[in-house]
A and B are shown apart, each in its own frame.
Chain A
Amino acid sequence: MSEEEMMEEGGTVKRFMYVNRKAPIGTIYALESLEVVLIGAAFEQDVCMVFLDDGVYQLVKGMDTTELEMKNFSPTYRALEMYDVERLYVSKEAMEERGLTPDDLVVDVEVLDETQMGALMEEQDVILSF
């Protein structure tokens, strides 16, 4: 039995949402939540990631952590599609509050307003928040 088959848990596929609300720098939530997504990818569930509040900053282009002497994990967001994690959503309100547009981001995203975001959350089986 392959590792993938073992991880399929008898074929159950659930809708998993990963909620990101924090900036990529200042706390570890962004980095460690990415680690969950990458490991979770092996379980072949129906996955999406949403970015709310300061979480939208996680996707901003041009991250340079040299002076901070910390790992720059921004490239990992671009690697997500290799793990079949392709549904990324950002909050319209969060982007506007911060003066951001999808062009400022390192990956393709869909912009959802509050109502749409709420509707998407309603559809999920498992919501992980960090």
Chain B
Amino acid sequence: MKLAIQINEGPYQHEASDTAYQFVKAALAKGHEIFRVFFYHDGVNNGTRLTTPPQDDRNVVARWSELAEQHGIDLVVCVAAAQRRGIADADEAKRNGKDTDNIAPGFRISGLGQLIEAGIQSDRLVVFGD
């Protein structure tokens, strides 16, 4: 099955991202395909490079980057939501006159069309939120 994932909450404050991560890992282990993981609302905060969580607990952002690299997963952060919340890649930073970017490896910033497309192209869209 081809799955699209939507994550509506940021790391740590809510556990939506954790649940989605475990779901994606389980789905991959069962041989399913993850078409795209789309981060919306505060979910865009899963894409910050600047996180330094305590060493004795999971690194929510880093393990998404790792999983994406391992399995070639498309991690997309919504541009509008990211602009509101201060998540930017180099292009966005330049375009909006910011002095730096902070997107984590493996994530890319794109439009809401990517979410709709994921819904159209996948067999199932699964939403993780509050």
Q: Classify chain A: how many residues form its interface, as a range.
A: 20 to 34
CA separation between A125 and B18, bound complex, in Å? 25
What is the size, in residues, of chain B's interface with A at 8 Å between Cβ atoms? 18
Contacts of A43 in B (CB 8 A): 113, 116-117, 120
Q: Which of B48-56, B68-76, B100-108, B121-129 contacts A (4 or more CB under 8 A)?
A: B121-129
- Tell me whether A36 and B41 are in contact (CB under 8 A): no
CA separation between A128 and B6, bound complex, in Å? 8
Given A40-B116, A43-B116, the answer on whether A127 and B41 have CB atoms closer than 8 Å is no
**B78 → chain A closest CB, angstroms:** 9
- Tell me whether A35 and B119 are in contact (CB under 8 A): no
- Tell me whether B41 and A40 are in contact (CB under 8 A): no
Contacts of A28 in B (CB 8 A): 41
Contacts of A14 in B (CB 8 A): 119-120
A interface list, Cβ under 8 A from B = 7, 9, 12, 14, 16, 28-29, 32, 35-36, 39-40, 42-43, 45, 125-130
- Known pairs A32-B80, A36-B40, A43-B120; list 14 more (Cβ under 8 Å): A9-B117, A9-B120, A9-B121, A12-B121, A14-B120, A16-B119, A28-B41, A29-B8, A35-B80, A36-B115, A40-B112, A45-B116, A45-B120, A127-B125
